[in-house]
Structure 1
Amino acid sequence: MQRSALLDRIFWHTLTGPHARFAAGAGGARRYARGFSPILAFADVRQPDFAALAPYCEEGEHFYCEGWSGVSPGGWRIDAESTMYRMVWNAAPPAADGAPAAIALGLAHAHQAVQLAALCRPGPFGPRTIELGDYFGYFDGEQLVAMAGERMHVAGLREISGVCVHPDFQGRGLARQLMAKLVHRQMARGETPFLHVMRANEAAHLLYLRMGFVDYLESVVRVVTPTR
């Protein structure tokens, strides 16, 4: 499959491909299993099969859904709507590891990672999200103050996600360093890095453009909740 076809429906291709073991759902609908990032994906976003998800979702759960802009189906509520950019790396590989002193994060760091994500709000993040790829962080003593990692991937493409810097440690280039480390590692594996950023997050969008990412597309993103 061509790269553009994979990128256009990256949520679906990830959840039915490399991350199928982390997914739940049936038919033309999938979600990350509980504990991972609360994201939905559909085979056809023009006719999303919410009914197929009903047995796999609980009332009150909040999910992110990309690319769908139709009328809310029965049993679901739209809580928020915005747009986000999907950006793809379009520059030479970084010459070296951008963060050689960063610490590899594992399950022992999951609680701190969730706390930092709740503070910085990088997007959907759960206590098991760091199992979806390599995550690295910086610590101040025992406190995790910055992190970045990987989430979705298909053949030749890998997402950089969960980029967070504690407000007290911003302005030091920590996010750029951690992202450069990930870009360096991914490109050494023959993968093209990509990422998502909300349209409203202008500062992050400009940072990613300066680093070497370019806008691939802008799509609708909604937060939806089952209400049955």
Structure 2
Amino acid sequence: MAHPLDNIFWNTLSGTHAHLSTGTASARRYAPGFSPIVGFPDPQQPDFAALLPFVESGERFYCDAWSGPAPAGWRIEAESTMYRMIWDGAMPQQDAAPDAIPLDARHAGQAVALALLTKPGPFGPRTIELGEYFGYFDDGDRLIAMAGERMAAAGLHEISGVCTHPEHQGRGLARRLMLKLIRRQLLRGETPFLHVMRANEAAHGLYLRMGFRDYCETVVRVVTPEAHSVP
């Protein structure tokens, strides 16, 4: 029997976050403004043709578990692999970030700016609406670290958007925010998971030490529709 993590993109977009996504029974994407992620019932045989009516020229999307040539009307812009990790540790004994500030729509601009600077993964101006987000600000009220939640299905909840401004790295801010979220999820009866690019060895090592374990390593691609293919 397949584990929900085996196709977490689709399980989220067609289930828990169906109201935040658009598409058909064979292809779905987060609605514009959210993280540019797409999912398919069978990710190794993605129906990109079904997705075309729901995209605009110039949009770039992340998809996983699929390899092979680019489908008609689409271009592959980037390809790598990432680890999908699941929590295997104990409950954090206390809130590691009691002074963190909850983020909401008022902070969207700063959150996008920090994500563009640090590149934690696909992020949009409405991504912080997908779950709880917390951050730290400097004395000038500039967002300098954040972490939050994104995909969710079958009792699993993703830790995502983890990043720290380069001027404030090395202080453990992101780790504290992650531990806060992990504790909150576990208290709700949820199991945390996350994604980290294979090339990001430092982050992968940190997550292993924190209590995550590798569930799988999967292909991740960035694709974009050819301009002449968009209806």
TM range (shorter): over 0.9
Structure 1 counterpart of 2:66? 68
The DSSP-based 3-state class of the residue aligned with 2:66 is: coil
| CA deviation after TM superposition for structure 1 residue 215, in Å | 0.3
Structure 2 counterpart of 1:47? 45
Structure 2 counterpart of 1:187? 186
Between the aligned partners of 1:76 and 1:7, the Cα distance in structure 2 is 26
| CA deviation after TM superposition for structure 1 residue 110, in Å | 0.3
What CA RMSD, in Å, does the superposition of the two structures yield over aligned residues? 0.9
CA deviations 1:48-91 (Å, max 9, x no partner) are 11111110011111000111102111110000000000000101
Gapped runs of 5+ residues in structure 1?
A: none
Q: Does 1:109 align with 2:123?
A: no
| CA deviation after TM superposition for structure 1 residue 197, in Å | 0.3
Between the aligned partners of 1:21 and 1:135, the Cα distance in structure 2 is 20
| CA deviation after TM superposition for structure 1 residue 95, in Å | 0.2
Between the aligned partners of 1:46 and 1:155, the Cα distance in structure 2 is 21
The TM-score with structure 2 as length reference comes to 0.96
Percent identity, aligned pairs only? 68
Between the aligned partners of 2:135 and 2:45, the Cα distance in structure 1 is 40
Between the aligned partners of 2:223 and 2:142, the Cα distance in structure 1 is 33
CA deviations 1:122-174 (Å, max 9, x no partner) are 00000000000000000002100000000001131100000010000000000
Structure 1 counterpart of 2:16? 18
Between the aligned partners of 1:172 and 1:33, the Cα distance in structure 2 is 35
Between the aligned partners of 1:98 and 1:12, the Cα distance in structure 2 is 32
Between the aligned partners of 1:10 and 1:162, the Cα distance in structure 2 is 17
Structure 1 counterpart of 2:83? 85
Structure 1 counterpart of 2:92? 94
The DSSP-based 3-state class of the residue aligned with 2:16 is: coil
Gapped runs of 5+ residues in structure 2?
A: none
Between the aligned partners of 2:154 and 2:72, the Cα distance in structure 1 is 36
Structure 2 counterpart of 1:174? 173
Q: Which amino acid aligns with 2:225?
A: P
Aligned length: 226
Q: Which amino acid aligns with 2:199?
A: A
Between the aligned partners of 2:131 and 2:68, the Cα distance in structure 1 is 32
Between the aligned partners of 2:58 and 2:109, the Cα distance in structure 1 is 22
Q: Which amino acid aligns with 1:33?
A: A
Between the aligned partners of 1:70 and 1:131, the Cα distance in structure 2 is 34
The TM-score with structure 1 as length reference comes to 0.97
Between the aligned partners of 2:128 and 2:166, the Cα distance in structure 1 is 21
Structure 2 counterpart of 1:196? 195
